[in-house]
Amino acid sequence: MKPTATPTSVPRIIIMGCGNPSRGDDALGSVLLERVGHWLHLHPDRPVVAVEDFQFQVEHSLDLEDRELALFVDATTSGPDPFTLTRIQPLEDSSFSTHAISPQAVLHAFLTLGHTKPPPSFVLAVRGHSFELGEGLSPKALSNLQASWNLLEQLLEAPSLEYWEGRCT
């Protein structure tokens, strides 16, 4: 009997992070995505994929196809320490036509591709304090990094809309 091929499936959860490791606390998103990569190595059976880039681009809307949940991870220059987790909706904002766009604009671009709706999406905005070129993470950012990783790991362990919404700040 011939073995039947199992169809490859797209991971249900996508974690997209951005940041510039050369600009101090702007590296927070990149460092968190590195941790997600290590977590995935330890949990290869989990339906999660991680995508990292310097900035969110319109092309990232293609990564949302066939996903059930999406999380955008980035550093922020404002807001409370250590982070905020918010649910987002598609929005055509002024970033839509620039080289770097907001997560909300990524969702809007997904709609322009003819999809009826994007997956439920969230932003984990980790508070940074120093974004100087050539600097490492600031002491406060290191603390915020650990707190945000604790949350992100919980989200990875419980990938459901209800659980994620319950963790919003």
CATH number of 13-166: 3.40.50.1450
The mean per-residue pLDDT over the stretch 19-39 comes to 96
DSSP strands (E only) in the chain: 13-18, 48-53, 69-76, 83-88, 121-127
**Beta-carbon contacts of residue 155 (< 8 Å; ≥ 6 apart):** 71, 163, 164, 167
Which of 47, 66, 76, 57 is closest to 16 using CA atoms?
Answer: 57
What ranges do the domains of the chain cover? 13-166
Averaged pLDDT score across all residues of the chain: 91
DSSP state of 137: -
Task: Read off the pLDDT of residues 104-162 as tens digits, 9 standing for 90 and up.
Answer: 999 999 999 988 899 999 999 999 999 999 999 999 999 999 999 999 999 999 999 99
pLDDT above 50: residue 48:
yes
Whole-model pTM? Answer: 0.91
